Amino acid sequence: MVEIPELKSQHIWVVILCVYIFTSVYPIGVPFRMSEATLKAYNFIDSLPPGSIVIMGGSGVFAFDLESSAAMIAAIKHMARKGLRLVALPLGTEAVQFQKYCIDTARVDEKYGGPWKYGVDYAVLPYIPGGSAAVVSFLTDVHALVSTDVMGNPISKLPIFEDLHDYRDIALWTCPHWGFWIVRYVTGERGIPMIGFAQAAAYALYSVYMMIYPDKVWLTNGFLGGAQYEKLVGIKGLGHAAMDSYSLISIFVVFFVILGNLRLLSSIKEEEEVIE
């Protein structure tokens, strides 16, 4: 009879940590199902003509929004390939850093060898307080609401803003934040299509909007949605890394549970033999 070694919690956690680190550095791409909503979001962006202006707008914090950044980063890569233009509209104090992180991580700027030039193909605005009032003001008159970008450059001197004046110039609004309440003003009142790159918890809360505004609103679901969008774009990023970790660690947990139970049964049998 093969002797089953005693399991120690330290050994289990070391194995789990190694799996987590490996999949984070080298995503392998475990299989998963493609969501219809993610596919529709991808197809809509793919259908936009070159030069179309997309807004990345919302508020939130890194603690929640890192999960939704996986799909947003993949979508930014997709936009750059299609020749679209992007304006980041931070509506929360931490949204400035988060939105800049998404753009930088996508490596679409010309300084990384990408096709986008700042001020021409994309721009980042400063934090704009006011919540709903700020959104409505932006949709009504961009130049009346904000005069400079986040670095203090007058937007009147940035070529991208020559074609962005109000909601009629916006082809798509994206929201990689908890602040999906924006949909009421963006899609509900102005009819602008909207994609929410949502966390899993936010997806459960806001997915109803896909039924309220069919073929106008789409949501991706957390890290899984990020992995799905990455697959469509042809990359392996944060979404794949997270899904690989979830899947492989789950397999190892089941393995250790089985091994632990076999060890328990083996020890019980050994005790019975000693008693006899």
| CATH classification of the domain holding 218 | 3.40.50
CA distance 183 to 201: 17
What is the overall mean pLDDT for the chain? 88
In a domain, 60, yes or no: yes
- pLDDT over 70 at 91, yes or no: yes
Question: What pLDDT, on the 0 to 100 scale, is given for residue 189?
Answer: 95
Mean pLDDT score, 12-32: 78
Of 183-192, 238-247, 260-269, the least confident: 260-269
What digits encode the pLDDT tens for the residues 122-158?
Answer: 999 999 999 899 999 999 999 999 999 999 999 999 9
Mean pLDDT score, 96-103: 93
In a domain, 96, yes or no: yes
Domain holding 81, by residue range, is: 39-244
Query: Phi then psi for 92, rounded to 5 degrees?
Result: -140, 155
Answer for the pair 229, 236: CB distance below 8 angstroms, yes or no.
Answer: no
What digits encode the pLDDT tens for the residues 34-70?
Answer: 999 999 999 999 999 999 999 999 887 777 778 889 9
Give the CA distances from residue 168 to residues 54, 85, 190, in Å, rounded to whole numbers and listed in that order: 12, 15, 8
Comparing 223 with 241, the larger pLDDT belongs to 223
CA atoms within 13 A on the CB side of 228: 22
Q: In the chain, what is the straight-line distance between the N-terminal and C-terminal CA atoms, in Å?
A: 18
In a domain, 251, yes or no: no
Joined tokens for residue 14: 């070391």
CA distance 85 to 110: 14
**Domain total for the chain?**
1
In a domain, 34, yes or no: no
In a domain, 240, yes or no: yes
Most confidently modeled of 11-15, 197-201, 211-215? 211-215
Question: What pLDDT, on the 0 to 100 scale, is given for residue 270?
Answer: 60
Q: Within a 10 A sphere around the Cβ of 238, how many other Cβ atoms?
A: 22
In a domain, 69, yes or no: yes
Give the CA distances from residue 152 to residues 41, 59, 108, 109, 120, in Å, rounded to whole numbers and listed in that order: 33, 21, 22, 19, 16
Q: Which one, of 232, 230, 125, 99, lies nearest residue 177 by Cα?
A: 99
In a domain, 183, yes or no: yes
Answer for the pair 183, 157: CB distance below 8 angstroms, yes or no.
Answer: no
Mean pLDDT score, 15-27: 78
Q: How confident is the model at residue 209 (pLDDT cuts 50, 70, 90)?
A: very high
Sheet holding 53-58, edge to edge: 122-124, 85-90, 53-58, 172-175, 194-198, 217-221
Q: How confident is the model at residue 274 (pLDDT cuts 50, 70, 90)?
A: low
In a domain, 111, yes or no: yes
